[in-house]
Amino acid sequence: MTDVLVIGAGPTGLTLAIDLARRGVGVRIVDTAAGPSNASRGKGLQPRTLEVFDDLGVIGPILDIARPYPPMRAYVGSEVVWEGALGESRPASPDVPYPSIRMLPQSITEAILRDRLASFGVAVEYGTTVGHVTADATATLADGSVIEADYLVGADGGRSTVRRALEIPFLGETFETERMALADVRFAPGLLDREHWHIWGDLATQELALGLCPLPGTDVFQLTAPLAPGEEPSDLQNLVLGRSGRTDLVIQETTWESLYRVNIRLASSYRVGRSFLAGDAAHAHSPAGGQGLNTGVQDAYNLGWKLASGSAALLDSYQAERQPIAAAVLGLSTLLLRGDSAAPQRGQDTDQLDLHYRDSALSQDRRRVRSGLQAGDRAPDAVLPDGTLFDRFRGPSPTVLVYQARYADAIELDADAARTYGVGGGGFVVVRPDGYVGLLADADQGDAVAVYRTTLL
């Protein structure tokens, strides 16, 4: 018997396992693959995800390898005809320490997360195929053995065994005519510089024919090539030569390849009994805007502390908070995929810093005069005499902030931070374990803080 069984060892499952392990929760994480993946897959880490990784203790190794998205360089054959950036890089600020998306192949992200999980004495159990699960958090493996747990989480991707076993509808569409060849390929050193994302296509219509993006921490490029209806990527080498118009782009090695179909879907429920869904098992996105991996990581970050508590009210809030977020993100990524003129711009609209839980039952605002942040918003960082607020948030417990008020073990805000948090006249802020504002209260409402904190434990 284990406390929590996590099925799937991608970024979502690994994030959840780390969050549980650091809280002292017994966790097992299994994956049907024979071993770790070497695929680049999701390569964009949004600012909010970087904040999650800061809290989980992996931001150092992530930033050691991750790089800003490179500028794009468009060609006709070998001739450069346009250069530009995918989005503007923004400077760090006291409240947003990681303001811009960073690129890192998913395989490296997963390796860093596995190392962190191992520091808690937990290893991924590869080669473990789950044949069936039940609502009471029981998993039957392909070899006939059974794992019983207090809770079970399916983080096993778009073709989730867990979702299918629980008979949860996966609502939406698969666009069979909208497909893309994806691959990690290696060329002779120096053939293409690694400071640009190299693209070929129609600049007038902004239709991509071929993209070759250098991946940090590797010597390979991620190949992306949209396919026409009926077209099959049977020969990547001929595809590269034909679409680039260059005879010198000879692939030396292909380390991973995949055929991607545009799949826009959302699970009708994130939970049946004591079994849950997270990540791609709960929502399938287009790759546009770099939202899928990041939304899954934040599903896990939302769910971990709630599973650790065992509170029925907290566990009920998981779907209520995360399903609307996924629905909104699916709409955003679909607009970006379609190139819709009404689509938000990459950057602040896609960095997930503005996503909130204002409508959640866990978000309470007791201030008589409301300004600044609202309950349910992401809690911003701020500089303290001995570090930052994020330094103090790091860990498994809620945090109480005060300004011109008294509360045991609280962190005193300065005037600037108090105004940012909307308690410039004095008061209290309770920040949830996942870094969102749970409670805002005036200086004479200290009793409300004590009552509210009990709901988060």
Least confident of 26-40, 45-59, 182-196, 279-293: 279-293
Residue closest to 45 by CA, chosen among 34, 58, 32: 58
Tokens encoding 102? 């960073």
Q: What is the pLDDT of residue 346?
A: 46
Q: What is the pLDDT of residue 234?
A: 81
Q: What is the pLDDT of residue 109?
A: 98
- Between 3.60.20.10, 3.20.20.80, 3.40.50.1100, 3.50.50.60, what CATH number should domain 2-66+93-167+263-338 receive? 3.50.50.60
Task: Report pLDDT digits (tens) over 2-34.
Answer: 999 999 999 999 999 999 999 999 999 999 999
Q: Average pLDDT, stretch 185-195? A: 97
Domain at 173-262, CATH class: alpha beta
Q: What is the pLDDT of residue 332?
A: 62
Bridge pairing between strands 271-272 and 275-277? antiparallel
pTM confidence score: 0.95
- pLDDT band at 333; cut points 50, 70, 90: low
The percent of residues in the chain predicted with pLDDT above 70, rounded, is 95
How many angstroms separate the Cα of 329 from the Cα of each of 158, 261, 287, 290, 378? 16, 18, 11, 10, 16
For the chain, what is the mean pLDDT? 92
How many Å is the Cα radius of gyration of the chain?
Answer: 23
The domain spans of the chain are 2-66+93-167+263-338, 173-262, 364-455
Task: Report pLDDT digits (tens) over 343-387.
Answer: 444 445 567 899 999 999 999 999 999 988 999 999 999 999 999
Q: What is the pLDDT of residue 90?
A: 87
Task: Report pLDDT digits (tens) over 230-286.
Answer: 888 889 999 999 999 999 999 999 999 999 888 889 999 999 999 999 999 999 876
How many angstroms separate the Cα of 361 from the Cα of each of 296, 358, 369, 400, 452? 22, 8, 20, 19, 12
Domain at 364-455, CATH class: alpha beta
The percent of residues in the chain predicted with pLDDT above 90, rounded, is 82
